[in-house]
Amino acid sequence: MTTGKREKIGRWVETWKRAGSALQKVKQQELHSYDYSKNWALVDSKLQCACDHRQPRLNTGLVEKQRLFMKLKGK
């Protein structure tokens, strides 16, 4: 990889780091300023949809996590 290409990629990465931070701030501000009282029907329908399509969990994932830890430990 050429030095110019490396620098270009580095600038691209830095640009997206800054953009990501700025976008996160916008997202947080939008969530904080959202007027739920004007949108109860929409919020309620989204919550209802989540309840209607939920899938019960048969375990907590602890057994699977322990299996993976043991697999990693064996390496």
pTM of the predicted model as reported, rounded to 2 decimal places: 0.44
Contacts of 36 (CB under 8 A, 6+ apart): 43
What average pLDDT score do residues 56-70 get? 89
Q: For 11-33, what is each residue's pLDDT tens digit?
A: 999 999 999 989 999 999 999 99
Radius of gyration over alpha carbons of the chain, in Å?
A: 22
* pLDDT-based confidence at residue 59 (cuts at 50, 70, 90): confident
Instruction: Please provide residue 29's backbone torsions phi and psi, each rounded to the nearest 5 degrees.
Output: -65, -40
Contact assessment for residue 43 and residue 36, using Cβ atoms and an 8 Å cutoff: yes
CA 36 to chain centre: 22
Contacts of 43 (CB under 8 A, 6+ apart): 36
